[in-house]
Structure 1
Amino acid sequence: MNAADLMVVIDQARPPLSVEHRFVAGRTTAIVGPNGAGKSTMLRVIAGLLRGGDASRIALGDEVFRDGRVSVPPHRRGVSLLSQEARLFPHLTVAENVAFAPSAQRLSRGEVRERVERWLTATEVADLADRKPDELSGGQAQRVAIARALAAEPRILLLDEPFRALDVDVASRLRALLRGLLADHVRTTIMVTHDPVDALGLAEDIVVLDQGRIVESGSTREVLTNPGSRFSASLSGLNLFVGRVGEASTVVDEAGNHVVGLVGEDVPAGGLVSGTPAAATFSPRAVAVYLEEPHGSPRTTLRATVRDVVPRGDHALVNTDVGDQVVAAEVTWSAVADLGLVTGLDVVLVVKASEVRVSAVVER
């Protein structure tokens, strides 16, 4: 395992970015924040594609990449950067694309061939080895891009919204693939994303950037389920209920609260095993609020306490505490008045199972 933490200090005026953070060796960290917050700029400075300000410092353990006049070129940093566009070399085959970095590292032909075969197999594109990039679908091209990035055996892997250009189903399958590949913890991974499912499914840690500064950081689960910053509270506008798999398609938290839903495409091979970490994601519009348990047998009922009521257009967003997690419901203002929804009121939430997506969560 890579034993060296990555220390990042960036201080520049244009675009404005002033951050200091230690990325723990072998872990995956999600970088989230509004557009223009400086997320991609941070990755480019780490990769060596931008210098950062004069006071910037990038170091992997005792190895300094950037400090004052010292600036190690990108190809000598052991860093791979994967963006939302595959950017494969159009004149090379799939196998030749994946072989590019190992060949540049002056490995023997046998070592290059072994790496190419290993990563084409790991990313499930071995049967595409002889194709050119223009013969690939978007999902296939991104799998090849992942194989090319990992074939370099980087110490630091940078992912800049790698699934953003793909449709939901393809992105879910690639997320499951990448989760398996990152499980070996042999590299430090930093991933920019706008999707809370990406963050929960791939990253142990999270950093929230806003206007070029870190406004929140910590465990992905803690930050996203009980957010302190305005952005993390509104990330994708979804509820995130985190726990472990109970019965089929059910997420249960430590207090025994449970949410039932439909299993997403990004589950590991063999499905979600009972007791493994999982998250239920659902819109506040899928949540109804009652003062007492409703008649019938809804599949998900949660006892909650109103935290606050805030405007959302012509509706109200009712934020509630369910154990140590926050669950929001979107209701009409007439419902707020009729139910007397105020801070501290005990309520019952009912969540529509058909609108709940259950996804795997990376082991912490």
Structure 2
Amino acid sequence: MCRADPVRLPRRTISTMTDDVHLVRRPRRLRTTPAMRNFVAETHLEPNQLVLPMFIADGIDSARDISAMPGVQQHTEESLLRTAEEALTAGVGSVDLFGVPTPESKDATGSQAWAVDGVLNRGLSALRREFGDDLIVMADTCLDEFTDHGHCGVLTEDRFGTTVIDNDATLPLYARMAVAQAEAGAHVVSPSGMMDGQIAVIRRALDDAGFQDVSILAYSAKYAGAFYGPFREAVGSSLQGDRKTYQQDPRNARESLMEVDLDIAEGADMVMVKPAMPHLDILRQVADISTVPVAAYQVSGEYSMITAAAQNGWIDREAAIMDSLTGIRRAGADIILTYWATEAAHLLRG
């Protein structure tokens, strides 16, 4: 059996060999300098696309640290306005306000949610008086912070004696809450309870009360999951059980697209995917079909994971912040809610 002669390459130096290389496409040409990379960047993140979630709490005399979210605080009215001013100065487009009532003020229906002197509505009024239309004031429109059971709706029992959320009995309370928030000065209400029909009911209530110009940011694809833990400390949650009967199953994708279609049909001005990073595929699909702006919420668990890893020296903090936000933007978010909004705005400005 004949053996083929081994292939013998000409004796050349490496430099001589590269003389024969002719590459028509050299993608690295467009990566040579920071100026060049900025020049051809496909994804652009701007400070005015960022929303800073904030917490205003009753019963505190000074801002209080949230241990599970290092760098984030529950605010008094004074510290709320100071921190919002810092965000606005940095170029942040909006703040989203959550209320933290005292435990004794909570009840089964969350009635402090629409009280004129309730902590959330007082905070909204303070922000609107201070900043007028220079800063978009957004309100969280959900009962969970205000109910003594921590759920986003009214509890009842089904015919088998099981405690369940009464979807339709909850809707009038959302309407009442949204109108109270509009009266307090909110530019945007953001229903996050995932009750069927909530957008239609809120839109009609706002219009009937003369608030046709108040926008609705719908939490359209809000998934149940493990990334909300630190937030529950932030709002002093009284949650008993879980929210899997009304928040979405993380295994489902088509369901999100249906929820988005329903919310837009009911009058949503913007739609949201939450949490952001575990559901970037959903965010992309929503962005591809939505006829209104798309938001994504980088939730407390995402914030705390990156913060903890950076504190341990495992990752570069600033680089990880920007990588995460750029990924959310690239996936299709027009608006990003993030606890790093002010810091990220400073980083974006150089």
Tell me whether the two structures share a fold, i.e. TM-score over 0.5: no
Structure holding more strand per residue: 1
Structure holding more helix per residue: 2
Larger Rg, first or second structure (1 or 2) = 2
The TM-score with structure 1 as length reference comes to: 0.27
The TM-score with structure 2 as length reference comes to: 0.28
